[in-house]
Chain A
């Protein structure tokens, strides 16, 4: 999940209108931003459209970025806003976002996978469904903390939520996710789940 940092001066060059420098920023952050949006909207085509919008808005507003060291947090903030606007619009349109079987996890017909890969597919599908079941705030903090390894402070800057709320949402999100993936965690976890309920509340 870790990427090499951008070379010094890249952001300044991009601010000056250097398209190549902005391309480097896209190469560095395109994957995490696209994946983050996909975690939120659960639709690849829509996620790609929104990621594109995110980078266009970032280019337009790059001059407003005060601290280059916070570029990642800033980009995730824009991505979150773009995704939120889309989800609001979707709700207004009364169209439900979310797929019973996420596209990225659909098995191609006739495709035969080794046993381990089948298990991975099954587990991934379980996690994807569990993510879908989380409410928006919990899914947001879970994605930023667990997948993108952001600090509470960064997540607070991205979402505007207090750190206390973030911790509560994350703890509850993990508890909900755990219930879904418990069978994959082994016997010890299942037993512990029963004897130490406060851990899994």
Chain B
């Protein structure tokens, strides 16, 4: 089902009644949604680099020109080339003791810090919490998503990756 631009905006901003959301969920997906969504997100950010891929809440892969693509926060902070793990360039807070875990969870509901820790990754620009990992100590930083940008544009969308 193709949504009008306004309906997509309302969906994203959570202004639609549940019945309409349900109807959208049950409908077949419109292949034009990607372009519509990117255009909507582009309107909402205050910088000009073209978004080539939405990359989770607050994050985008944008074109910097000359074939460079970086992960950028909506606050304007730029992390790194999209092929690198942006988390390595983030700020991190690790909750690995009872005291810090109990700021989030009650006693006996916060796990055992000897077995696992919570890693919070923040944007150095706006300090938004962008990802949380729950892993044992010593686990490598997880590279959540490495998109095949070239393949997506050239073979799935049938057009060149914007430069």
Do A and B make up one complex? no
Residues on B lying within 8 angstroms of A by beta carbon are: none
